[in-house]
């Protein structure tokens, strides 16, 4: 009984049912569709981990324990270990129940989310189907309106549009629906192809629908172009296109290649073959460019920078388009002989009162209307600078020269100077003998003095008209006007007024309030307000025209003097004045003229003009030396002119342009510049204005105080104009004893110097039977194996000719030198 009780005591009491203990999953897996850029998407697997929670025994509610039988206590029935085991079992059962409830709730949520997604997918599919249907209808409508253009054998033909049919909705699979929906999202209509982006996988390449969507790659296009190029090369070279290449005076290699449509490297190779090493941006001259163009098979068309002035003056007028115009008369003469008073009498205005001290300070141009309604244009000059400037630029502004000589004073230095200017311009002269109302007036003395200057008036049996007038008493003016009109009738002066205006600048100045103002004499055509014009190296737009009586006018015709406002700068006296079509044309012409003027000023030195004259003389272009002589007394002038004229020869001669008493002024400089001569000052000096003008125009001024020095210098100049003589000096002779043929050298003559000396670098002649068969220079002169400078008589040497090998034993070599001998008068 006791053993039984012990066994029962040791056996554990089973108070609860047995359950399997296990761990639930703490990780849930699922699939999510991930979207990328450009419409790509990918299905990925995701894992969701849940946090495990463990409760403490204090937190766990105590399970209900059955009441023990009567007479027994809990401590007597269960051990501590059994009680702990029971507590754990109860806790696990509570946790399992809680987990089951959570899983049921999660499943319910999942089912609800699936239902919601299915509803959204159905709505999205319906919307995509509606968009697809509308897109197909719109595409069908557009294709019916716009014909399709297809290429057939290189020709573009129009064909009818193909009908667009929609697939049956039931026949479209799920993949097709997704594809169309994707294109709809990207803004593409159904059937419109989109270029593939990203890498191409094997699955995508094998997929038929993906393959249909693929487009041509850039590499495929390049390969097709390369095949086409190879096919054209195999078919043969294309026919070369011959171009007309316009080449200016200088051009860069790159520009030349572009104009020929050739590669720059090919042009450089051609230049290197010619021995010209040039880079792509280097300038080459027109002759070299012509050789290159000819080599490439093109045609050259050479132009010059000066071509911008071609057609500037327009075409010549037809005889039927011209009408008679007023003559242009220049009044010249000595100081205080009555030039401006004569103009005052002709214009019936008091011009003298407006001049400072009664002396003309500027050039004036006036138009006078006679009683017979005929007009005469007068130009009053303070000296003769503008007159000479016009002639130096080739502008013949004056038709007739009126030489005013005072009857009581006679011919004076400036009178002689005016005669020289008029003769140089080859303009007819009318002599106006003024102040005949004075008691001591002697017109016959004036006529006799004019004979010394080769002016023979009609009363003396000549062809020069002379009129006795008095500007103060206004007598003889009618005869003077008749003489002017008679001379104009002989000249037959005509002009065309119905064309763009052209003329010459008489005077130009910078006015403080009006800007640059030019006094212009219109020669042909008509100048109007608003015209764009070019005046020398300046251009502008005519803002206003003012006549000689300070009245604003709208236009000015031929032979009419007018002031022009609107210039961009101040032109020079004697510059041409031409109306052009556009501002671009005006800028083009003035830019060229300014560049040309800067080039001339940069190259002209103090003695540049004389040196250039000597160069022209050496080239056979000139054989005379123009000289302007100014001295302190008349006797020195006569002595100088007489001595210089005696040095003239049939080949060269001295041409005295002008000789007068007094200092060197601007008029002398302009006269010498117009004829490219020099100025000689004997015991006189040039004023500052003349020196500045001489420096600008490159006129040589030479001062002397001894007449013999002046004569010697002029003689040296004339001697320099003579072509030098070439004198030949014989150095020696050598006889050829043997001819040796040396490798890499050629034929070498073994010689013995018979007479004189043979020098290397001297000229040689080869004589055979006393007949000259070659003349040239020595390539080598050797004594034994050494190169020597000369070999004297009796010695042997080796000689070889430059570019000549036909030498034989027994020939004679003659050595000589050529020297230039300066010729003297």
Is residue 199 in a domain? Answer: no
CB atoms within 10 A of CB 472: 15
CATH number of the CATH domain containing 365: 3.40.50.300
Please give the backbone phi and psi of residue 55, each rounded to the nearest 5 degrees, phi first. -90, 150
Q: Give the domain-ending residue among 427, 458, 492.
A: 492
> Do 447 and 347 sit in the same domain of this protein?
yes
Distance of CA 467 to the CA centre of its chain: 58
Give the per-residue pLDDT at 601.
Answer: 56
> Do 664 and 767 sit in the same domain of this protein?
no
Please give the backbone phi and psi of residue 171, each rounded to the nearest 5 degrees, phi first. -80, -15
> Do 345 and 473 sit in the same domain of this protein?
yes
CATH number of the CATH domain containing 267: 1.10.10
> Do 258 and 298 sit in the same domain of this protein?
yes
> Do 814 and 676 sit in the same domain of this protein?
no
Distance of CA 363 to the CA centre of its chain: 39
Question: What does pTM read for this prediction?
Answer: 0.45
CA angle in degrees (0–180, nearest 5) for 171-173-178: 130
| Crossing angle between the packed helical segments 666-675 and 385-392, to the nearest 10 degrees | 10
CATH number of the CATH domain containing 656: 3.40.50.10050
- Secondary structure string (H, E, C) spanning 170-220: CCCCHHHHHHHHHHHHCCCCCCCCCCCCCCCCHHHHHCHHHHHHCCCCHHH
Coil, strand or helix at 528: strand
Give the per-residue pLDDT at 679.
Answer: 92
Q: Return all residues near 243 (Cβ < 8 A) that are at least 6 apart.
A: 259, 260, 261, 298, 299
> Do 709 and 743 sit in the same domain of this protein?
no
> Do 707 and 814 sit in the same domain of this protein?
no
Give the per-residue pLDDT at 600.
Answer: 65
Is residue 523 in a domain? Answer: no
CATH number of the CATH domain containing 798: 2.40.30.10
CB atoms within 10 A of CB 102: 12
Coil, strand or helix at 708: helix
> Do 734 and 716 sit in the same domain of this protein?
no
Integer CA distances (angstroms), 767 to 652, 781, 811, in order: 40, 18, 6
Is residue 578 in a domain? Answer: no
Asked if 494 contacts 323 with a C-beta cutoff of 8 angstroms, the reply is yes
Give the per-residue pLDDT at 543.
Answer: 92
pLDDT, one tens digit per residue, over 113-145 is: 888 888 888 888 888 888 888 888 877 776 665
Give the per-residue pLDDT at 504.
Answer: 87
Asked if 684 contacts 631 with a C-beta cutoff of 8 angstroms, the reply is yes
Give the per-residue pLDDT at 361.
Answer: 35
Per-position b or e across 630-649, b if 16+ CB within 10 A of its CB: bbeeeebbebbbebbeebee
Is residue 54 in a domain? Answer: no
Q: Give the domain-ending residue among 685, 700, 721.
A: 721
> Do 288 and 248 sit in the same domain of this protein?
yes
User: What residues in the chain have per-residue pLDDT under 70?
Assistant: 1-29, 48-78, 142-200, 202-215, 236-238, 305-308, 348-364, 380-396, 599-622, 634-635, 721-725, 822-825
Is residue 559 in a domain? Answer: no
Q: How many domains does the chain have?
A: 4
- Give me the domain span that covers residue 288: 244-303
> Do 799 and 699 sit in the same domain of this protein?
no
Distance of CA 413 to the CA centre of its chain: 51
Is residue 309 in a domain? Answer: no
> Do 358 and 441 sit in the same domain of this protein?
yes
> Do 380 and 485 sit in the same domain of this protein?
yes
Give the separation between CA 47 and CA 28, rounded to whole angstroms.
6
Q: Give the domain-ending residue among 492, 514, 549.
A: 492
Is residue 662 in a domain? Answer: yes
Is residue 289 in a domain? Answer: yes
């Amino acid at each position: 009984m006791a053993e039984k009780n012990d066994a029962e005591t040791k056996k554990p009491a089973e108070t609860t049912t047995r359950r399997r203990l296990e761990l639930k999953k703490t990780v849930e897996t699922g699939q999510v569709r991930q979207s990328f850029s450009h419409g790509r998407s990918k299905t990925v697997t995701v894992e969701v981990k849940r946090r495990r929670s463990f409760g403490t025994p204090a937190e766990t509610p105590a399970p209900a324990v059955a009441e023990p039988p009567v007479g027994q206590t809990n401590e007597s029935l269960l051990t501590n270990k059994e009680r702990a085991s029971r507590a754990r079992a109860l806790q696990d059962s509570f946790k399992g129940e809680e987990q089951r409830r959570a899983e049921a709730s999660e499943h319910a949520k999942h089912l609800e989310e699936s239902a919601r997604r299915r509803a959204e997918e159905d709505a999205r599919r319906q919307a995509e189907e509606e968009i697809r249907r509308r897109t197909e209808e719109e595409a069908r409508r557009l294709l019916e309106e716009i014909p399709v253009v297809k290429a057939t054998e290189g020709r573009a033909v129009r064909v009818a549009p193909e009908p667009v049919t929609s697939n049956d909705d039931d026949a479209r699979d799920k993949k097709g629906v997704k594809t169309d929906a994707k294109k709809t999202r990207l803004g593409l209509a159904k059937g419109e192809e989109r270029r593939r982006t990203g890498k191409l996988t094997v699955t995508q390449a094998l997929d038929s629908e993906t393959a249909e969507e693929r487009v041509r790659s850039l590499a495929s296009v390049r390969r097709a172009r390369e095949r086409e190029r190879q096919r054209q090369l195999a078919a043969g070279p294309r026919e070369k296109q011959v171009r007309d290449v316009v080449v200016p005076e200088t051009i860069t290699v790159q520009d030349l290649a572009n104009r020929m449509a050739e590669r720059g490297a090919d042009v450089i190779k051609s230049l290197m073959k010619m021995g010209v090493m040039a880079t792509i941006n280097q300038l080459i001259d027109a002759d070299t460019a012509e050789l290159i163009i000819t080599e490439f098979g093109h045609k050259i068309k050479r132009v010059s920078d000066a071509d911008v002035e071609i057609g500037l003056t327009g075409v010549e007028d037809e005889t039927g388009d011209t009408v008679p115009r007023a003559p242009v008369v220049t009044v010249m003469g000595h100081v205080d002989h009555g030039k401006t008073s004569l103009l005052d009498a002709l214009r019936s205005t008091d011009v003298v009162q407006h001049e400072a001290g009664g002396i003309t300070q500027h050039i004036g141009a006036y138009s006078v209307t006679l009683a017979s309604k005929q007009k005469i244009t007068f130009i009053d000059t303070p000296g003769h600078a503008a007159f000479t400037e016009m002639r130096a630029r080739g502008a013949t502004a004056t038709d007739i020269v009126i030489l005013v000589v005072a009857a009581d004073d006679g011919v004076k230095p400036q009178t002689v100077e005016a005669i020289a200017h008029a003769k140089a311009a080859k303009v007819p002269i009318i002599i106006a003998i003024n102040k005949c109302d004075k008691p001591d007036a002697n017109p016959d003395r004036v006529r006799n003095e004019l004979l010394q200057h080769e002016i023979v008036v009609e009363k003396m049996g000549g062809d020069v008209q002379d009129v006795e007038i008095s500007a103060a008493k206004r007598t003889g003016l009618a005869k003077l006007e008749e003489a002017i009109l008679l001379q104009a009738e002989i000249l037959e002066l005509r002009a065309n007024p119905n064309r763009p205006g052209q003329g010459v600048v008489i005077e130009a100045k910078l006015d403080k309030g009006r800007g640059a103002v030019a006094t212009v004499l219109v020669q042909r055509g008509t100048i109007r307000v608003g015209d764009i014009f070019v005046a020398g190296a300046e251009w502008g737009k005519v803002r206003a025209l003012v006549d000689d009586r300070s009245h604003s006018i709208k236009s000015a015709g031929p032979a009419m003097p007018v002031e022009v406002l609107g210039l961009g700068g101040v032109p020079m006296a004697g510059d041409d004045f031409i109306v052009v079509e556009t501002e671009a044309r005006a800028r083009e012409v003035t830019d060229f003229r300014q560049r040309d003027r800067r080039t001339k000023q940069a190259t002209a030195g103090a003695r540049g003009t004389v040196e250039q004259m000597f160069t022209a003389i050496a080239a056979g272009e000139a054989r005379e030396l123009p000289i302007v002589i100014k001295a302190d007394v008349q006797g020195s002038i006569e002595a100088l002119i007489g001595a210089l004229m005696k040095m003239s020869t049939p080949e060269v001669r001295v041409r005295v342009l002008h000789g007068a008493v007094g200092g060197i002024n601007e008029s002398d400089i302009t006269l010498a510049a117009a004829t490219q001569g020099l100025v000689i000052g004997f015991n006189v000096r040039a004023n500052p204005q003349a020196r500045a003008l001489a420096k600008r125009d490159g006129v040589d001024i030479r001062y002397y105080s001894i007449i013999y020095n002046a004569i010697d210098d002029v003689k040296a100049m004339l001697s320099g104009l003579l072509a030098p003589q070439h004198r030949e000096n014989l150095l020696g002779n050598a006889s050829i004893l043997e001819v040796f043929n040396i490798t890499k050298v050629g034929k070498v003559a073994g010689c013995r110097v018979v007479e004189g000396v043979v020098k290397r670098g001297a000229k040689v002649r080869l004589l055979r039977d006393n007949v000259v068969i070659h003349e040239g220079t020595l390539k080598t002169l050797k004594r034994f194996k050494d190169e020597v400078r000369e070999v004297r008589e009796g010695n042997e040497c080796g000689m070889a000719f430059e570019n000549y090998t036909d030498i034989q034993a027994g020939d004679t070599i003659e050595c000589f030198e050529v020297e230039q001998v300066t010729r003297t008068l």
